[in-house]
Amino acid sequence: MDSVESSDQRRATVSQREQWMVQDQVFQIYDIFANIPHKTRTLMLELQRDNHIEYLTRGLKQLSSSFVVLDANRPWLCYWILHSIALLGESIDYELENNVIDFLKHCQDPNGGYGGGPGQMPHLATTYAAVNSLITLGGRRALSSINRGKLYAFLRGMKDPSGAFRMHDAGEIDVRACYTAISVASILNILDDELIKGVGNYILSCQTYEGGIAGEPGSEAHASQRSMDLIIRYTFCGLAAMILINEANRLDLAGLLDWVVFRQGVECGFQGRTNKLVDGCYSFWQGGVFALLKGLHSVDGEHVALSDAEEGDSATDGTSEGEDGNSLETDETCHIKQGVGDGEMAPLFHSVALQQYIILCSQEQEGGFRDKPGKARDYYHTCYCLSGLSVCQYSQSKDEHSPPLPRAVLGPYSNLLEPVHPLYNVVLKQYQEAHEFFSSQSTS
């Protein structure tokens, strides 16, 4: 047996070895959790709110010199931190809030849009981040600082004759550009037929044979990929943009659903694309897709629901009851329930298992969240792990006004976060304030 295993190891690819290593790290955490006293398990499942707030607030005030590589992403840093704080139900003090508003004003280009920092060229990605930051702050001073007339002109300038958008002047055309442009225009109440024209055709051309959505025609379906200056989330972006322009029914929704369902792996978290490693940030980029599909009510005419298995089903799906009535995994596989029968409430992903990965494998006890065990915490993963956690917690709720049942929240009910608007990824009450504000304002 040993010689066979050694032979298999020798033939393994680099990707296989990396996958096995991650699985070993994750399963060790789950094994430790399963074999410690009840009181300690309860502590391990607790969201370390105070430590997260301290970590986030410190970063908003001062960053180390190592962050110079993110100089073109400074509005993103504002958004990741502010959104995380809002999800935790907290806010920043008046002085710090004004400092953020003033900083983002200096990032706003005189001709519209926001750059990655003062004096930098306007870019759709950082425009999205800046607008979401200001909406998250809320209040008249923050919201009125956005020059919607000039921003609309910037969006029109980024519109390509193909119908898609460029990220910046002479920049790349992709699904991410389409989403950021449409999202900003929608939330600011400046979306019109000129901006919408041709967007649906472009996104439709990016859906692949797998069912997911690529960044551009002919590329691989992706949920998300990060590089030094780009934040890319193709499948989420494509679906969200199509919903915002009321053309989601043009997509192969059944294929998209099939693709995203199988991105939840044995570690209980999500991968971004086929044969890639689990990553905490995909908790939102993939989990958020389910929230969007739930809002569509049906896929190919069949009912879709995102609730977990009803109580009493755990014996049949490989889980057992844990603390606070939560269903925890007892084997090495996250059992993803699938299928949409007539009138059935079919859970499309295992939300409690995903919460398990986020809290036990991505959460840093000292504050912040990480990609996976062995990685360092950062603001990006903190934002999207918390966003994904919120999506999980509210996935069984019938509507935005219904609080989750205790069994939908892994760990103590004090872990409950604020609900997000899944199309924009801003906290729901901040979205509602912005919607009312911009609905009553002219664009001049």
What confidence tens digit (pLDDT) does each residue in 138-164 have?
Answer: 999 999 999 999 999 999 999 999 999
- Residue 329 banded pLDDT, cuts 50, 70, 90: very low
Q: Which of 79, 128, 179, 282 is catalytic?
A: 282
Residue 302 pLDDT exceeds 80: no
**What is the pLDDT, as a whole number, of residue 327?**
41
Read off φ and ψ for residue 410, nearest 5 degrees. Answer: -70, 135
279 as an active site residue: the answer is yes
**Lowest-pLDDT range of 49-63, 341-355, 399-413:** 341-355
Structure tokens at 207: 């859906």
Q: Which of 279, 361, 379, 383 is catalytic?
A: 279
Residue 46 pLDDT exceeds 60: yes
Task: Check: CB of residue 105 under 8 Å from CB of residue 114.
Answer: no
281 as an active site residue: the answer is yes
Q: Which of 176, 273, 350, 377 is catalytic?
A: 273
**What is the pLDDT, as a whole number, of residue 336?**
33
Q: Which of 281, 334, 361, 385 is catalytic?
A: 281
Task: Check: CB of residue 70 under 8 Å from CB of residue 76.
Answer: yes
Residues 233-259, mean pLDDT to the nearest whole number: 95
Residues 279-307, mean pLDDT to the nearest whole number: 73
**What is the pLDDT, as a whole number, of residue 294?**
87
d(Cα 442, Cα 113) in Å, to the nearest integer?
Answer: 18
50 as an active site residue: the answer is no
Residues 318-329, mean pLDDT to the nearest whole number: 41
222 as an active site residue: the answer is yes
Dihedral angle computed from the Cα positions of residues 118, 119, 122 and 124, in that order, rounded to the nearest 10 degrees: -30
371 as an active site residue: the answer is yes
Q: Which of 371, 379, 392, 421 is catalytic?
A: 371
**Lowest-pLDDT range of 76-80, 133-137, 221-225, 274-278:** 221-225
What rounded mean pLDDT belongs to the chain? 86
- Residue 444 banded pLDDT, cuts 50, 70, 90: low
Q: Which of 166, 378, 385, 394 is catalytic?
A: 378
Per the rule left: phi > 0, alpha: psi between -120 and 50, beta: everything else, 189 is left
Q: Which of 30, 381, 383, 424 is catalytic?
A: 381
- Residue 219 banded pLDDT, cuts 50, 70, 90: confident
**Lowest-pLDDT range of 6-10, 107-111, 129-133:** 6-10
- Residue 233 banded pLDDT, cuts 50, 70, 90: confident
Percent of the chain with pLDDT over 70: 83
Task: Check: CB of residue 242 under 8 Å from CB of residue 233.
Answer: no
Give the contacts of 342 (CB within 8 A, at least 6 positions apart).
302, 303
Look up the pTM and report it.
Answer: 0.88
In single-letter form, the type of residue at position 279 comes to D
Instruction: Name the DSSP letter for residue 159.
Output: B
**What is the pLDDT, as a whole number, of residue 8?**
62
282 as an active site residue: the answer is yes
Which residue did the predictor score with more confidence, 219 or 63? 63
Q: Which residues of 188-209 are buried (b: 16+ CB within 10 A; e: fewer)?
A: bebbeeebbebbbebbbbbbbe
**What is the pLDDT, as a whole number, of residue 334?**
40
Read off φ and ψ for residue 329, nearest 5 degrees. Answer: -70, 140
d(Cα 411, Cα 397) in Å, to the nearest integer?
Answer: 18
Which residue did the predictor score with more confidence, 37 or 298? 37
- Residue 427 banded pLDDT, cuts 50, 70, 90: very high
- Summarize pLDDT for 68-120 with one digit per residue, the tens: 999 999 999 999 999 999 999 999 999 999 999 999 999 999 999 999 999 99
Q: Which of 148, 276, 372, 421 is catalytic?
A: 276
Name the one residue in this structure whose structure tokens are 């997000």. Answer: 420
- Summarize pLDDT for 340-358 with one digit per residue, the tens: 344 444 578 999 999 999 9
39 as an active site residue: the answer is no
378 as an active site residue: the answer is yes
